[in-house]
Amino acid sequence: MTASSFFSRINIASRVVELIILFIAVTLGFVVENYREDYSEKKNSIELLNSLKIDLEKDLERFDDFTARRKVLIENVYLFIDDVTQRGLLSDDFKQQNLFANAIFNWSYFNPNVANIEQVISSGALRYLGDDALKNQIGVLESRSIAINDRQEREQEYFLNYLQPLMHQYYNFKWINTTYVRKWDTEKNQWGTYEEALKNILKLNPSQRDLMFWKKDPNLQSKLINLFENYVFILRSSYVVNFEAYLTEVKKTITTIEDNINAQQNN
């Protein structure tokens, strides 16, 4: 074997080794990069889940406050219904005017915080969770959030179409505007309180006030009672149809998220 052929073989072997090393390096680079991306995505998914869990826990607190106010509203509606049933429609009675105000002015709604649910879904974080139960639960919760908003739209539609016209037609805003809306306390440099406004209305001479623009009318009385009975039915049905189911799914989602995060951190 000549010296030139010997060195030629060495060069070929060297190049093969270099190619193998280069291939290994490139392959390892891809592996490391994929691992880094996978680790980063999993870390982001855990952060998203933690944010979602915090949102849901806050939603539970807000929902408790909302349901407490909703129960008071239902009670106030029934107080108004009972008063009208027993005494009829009274135009100059402060108690009935106040019962009407409490029954009709205090409708409120609950708006679920869906920002992080939408981010978890839209970002593709679900594919990194590796937990079919959690993926399914997030989907169920999203559908419940949509359902609860749809239900409240029905409540709002009834309120705007049937109850709000009642306040425009029958409630005399003059007194509440005079004693509350336009009442600026110059000494305290603030608006007067609603409680103070009610006390001032009580000071009005009954013969000089028309608190409500209605008269004793059995037909109108029956119509108003039926509208408010229907109102209560819709409000109460919301619990049975949507609210209780939403509350159940929120609590279940929180538990499922906690289990998922613990499983990922222990791996």
Taking only the tens place, the pLDDT of each residue in 65-90 is 999 999 999 999 999 999 999 999 99
Whether 202 maps to a domain, the answer reads no
Supply the pLDDT for residue 73: 94
Question: Is there a domain that residue 191 lies in?
Answer: no
Tell whether the model's pLDDT for residue 56 goes beyond 80: yes
198 within domain boundaries: no
The more confidently predicted of residues 228 and 205 is 228
Q: What does the alpha-carbon distance between residue 199 and residue 186 come to, in Å, rounded to a whole number?
A: 19
**Containing structural domain, residue 132:** 3-172+210-266
165 vs 51 pLDDT, higher one: 165
Q: How confident is the model at residue 7 (pLDDT cuts 50, 70, 90)?
A: very low
Among the ranges given (114-118, 133-137, 217-221, 249-253), the one the predictor scored with the smallest mean pLDDT: 114-118
Is residue 141 exposed (0-12), middle (13-18) or buried (19+ Cβ within 10 Å)?
buried
Q: How confident is the model over 135-157, as a mean pLDDT? A: 88
Mean pLDDT of 218-240: 94
- 197 located within any domain: no
| Whether pLDDT at 197 is above 80 | no
DSSP state of 189: T
Asked if residue 180 is part of any domain, the answer here is: no
Task: Tell me how far CA of residue 233 lies from CA of 75, 131, 154, 204, 236, in angstroms.
Answer: 12, 40, 12, 36, 5
Residue 203 inside a domain? The answer is: no
Neighbours of 146 (CB within 10 A): 12
- pLDDT band of residue 131 (cuts 50, 70, 90) is low
pLDDT at 6: 45
Number of domains in the chain: 1
Q: Is the pTM of this model over 0.85?
A: no
Which range, of 13-17, 53-57, 234-238, averages the lowest pLDDT? 13-17
Domain assignment present for residue 204? The answer is no
Backbone angles phi, psi at 82, to 5 degrees: -65, -40
Eight-state DSSP code of residue 150: H
